[in-house]
């Protein structure tokens, strides 16, 4: 039997994503969750797997333990080096945990040429399919509500207009909820009457506005969608934003400009969408003046990225 010749190295680069809100939370109806999100062109996760004389990794003990289990189960060499070269900060609203796990799963399969192996090596399930589908496709994504957390189907995916720019606002003094606290929050049935209203906004306003590149309609309805979505989290998050400082800054921006504003996932990372280069410059000028008053805030300008992860081999 011929032994497969392994690559010397596999490198994978994945996108960060903005989670723009859920359609529903856990529901007594047939389907739960679903939502929308967008891949962005900065803050990637970059990971390599290379041949080595012994097992080396700069990942967490938990991930390394699961990698060893994968190696034993598939009877492949453990003489590899795994290096996470870059990734966004954890629990800030950019989906770094999902991207790291998905990148690792695909890189291991490609390195060992085990295309027949179940793709979910780490048995991870996802309430939201936004990170999974951003990994695969990029662009703007509407994630289907689901019966099982093992499914990540897409209702709609589209190229996002490249000239619609996004300003991200960061608050380095806080992190979004995660772990047991997040699991506990999602364990309760959601009896909200918001589901039909949120679905209507996505189907009849946001999706068409992207197809026809109607920025004003997009901005108005995404902002409204985010405001409604924040009521899901009212037991934990007392306003539309986790960061009060970001909320204060965005309020001043929204008063002057027709833009979309909101928070990604649990935050604190928040955003401003604009389609005007002139408005972008003016908003950045305001941010420069406002943010210098806070030691904890910063911003960056990003664009959508309309492709999924990238692999290279040597």
Question: What are 48-94's pLDDT values in tens digits?
Answer: 999 999 999 999 999 999 999 999 999 999 999 999 999 999 999 99
Residue 7: what pLDDT? 92
Q: Of 98 and 119, which is predicted with more confidence? A: 98
Residue 233: DSSP 8-state: G
Helix, strand, coil share of the chain (percent; to 5) = 35, 25, 40
Lowest average pLDDT, out of 122-126, 177-181, 284-288, goes to 177-181
What number is the average pLDDT over the span 261-270?
95
Section 247-270 average pLDDT: 96
Element (H, E) at 313: strand 310-313
Q: Do the Cβ atoms of 133 and 120 come closer than 8 Å?
A: no
| pLDDT score of 116 | 78
Running DSSP on this structure, what letter comes out for residue 147?
S
Note the maximum CA span of the chain. Answer: 70
pLDDT at 1 over 50: no
Non-local (6+) Cβ contacts of 62 within 8 A are none
pLDDT digits (tens, 9 = 90+) for 4-34: 678 999 999 999 999 999 988 866 678 889 9
Nearest to 160 by CA among 263, 265, 268, 36: 36
What's the pLDDT score for residue 24?
A: 85
Identify the structural domains of the chain with CATH numbers, from first to last: 9-313 (3.30.230.120)
pLDDT mean across residues, the chain: 91
Mean pLDDT of 118-142: 87
Is residue 134's pLDDT more than 90?
Answer: yes
Instruction: Answer whether 16's CB lies under 8 Å from 300's CB.
Output: no
95 has pLDDT over 60 = yes
The position carrying tokens 């529903």 is 24
Q: What is the sign of the dihedral through the CA atoms of 227, 228, 231 and 232?
A: negative
Residue 179: pLDDT over 90:
no
* Tens digits of residue pLDDT in 213-254: 999 999 999 999 999 988 877 767 778 899 999 999 999 999
Average pLDDT over residues 114-136: 83
Which pLDDT score, from 0 to 100, does residue 208 have?
98
Residue 2 — pLDDT band, cuts 50, 70, 90? very low
Share of the chain above pLDDT 90, in %: 77
């Amino acid at each position: 039997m011929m032994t497969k010749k392994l690559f010397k190295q596999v490198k994978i680069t994945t996108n960060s994503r903005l989670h723009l809100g859920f359609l529903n939370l856990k529901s007594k109806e047939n389907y739960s969750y679903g939502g929308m999100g967008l891949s962005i062109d900065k803050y990637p996760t970059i990971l390599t797997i290379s041949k080595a004389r012994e097992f080396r990794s700069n990942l967490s003990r938990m991930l390394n333990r699961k990698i060893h289990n994968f190696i034993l189960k598939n009877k492949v060499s453990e003489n590899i080096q795994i290096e996470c070269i870059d990734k966004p900060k954890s629990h800030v609203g950019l989906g770094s945990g999902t991207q790291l796990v998905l990148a690792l799963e695909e890189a291991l399969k490609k390195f060992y040429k085990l295309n027949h192996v179940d793709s979910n090596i780490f048995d991870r399930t996802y309430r939201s399919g936004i990170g999974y589908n951003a990994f695969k496709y990029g662009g703007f994504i509407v994630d289907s509500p689901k019966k099982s957390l093992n499914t990540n189907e897409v209702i709609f995916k589209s190229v996002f207009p490249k000239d619609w720019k996004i300003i991200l606002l960061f608050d380095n003094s806080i992190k979004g909820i995660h772990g047991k606290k997040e699991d506990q929050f999602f364990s309760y049935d959601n009896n909200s009457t918001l589901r039909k209203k949120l679905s209507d906004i996505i189907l009849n306003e946001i999706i068409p506005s992207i197809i026809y590149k109607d920025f004003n309609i997009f901005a108005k309805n995404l902002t409204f969608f985010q405001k409604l979505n924040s009521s899901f989290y009212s037991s934990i998050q007392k306003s539309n934003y986790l960061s009060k400082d970001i909320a204060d800054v965005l309020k001043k921006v929204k008063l002057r400009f027709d833009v979309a504003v909101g928070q990604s996932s649990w935050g604190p990372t928040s955003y401003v969408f604009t389609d005007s280069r002139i408005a972008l410059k003016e908003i950045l000028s305001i941010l420069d003046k406002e943010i210098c008053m806070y030691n904890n805030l910063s911003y960056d300008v990003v664009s959508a990225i309309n492709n999924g992860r990238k692999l290279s081999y040597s």
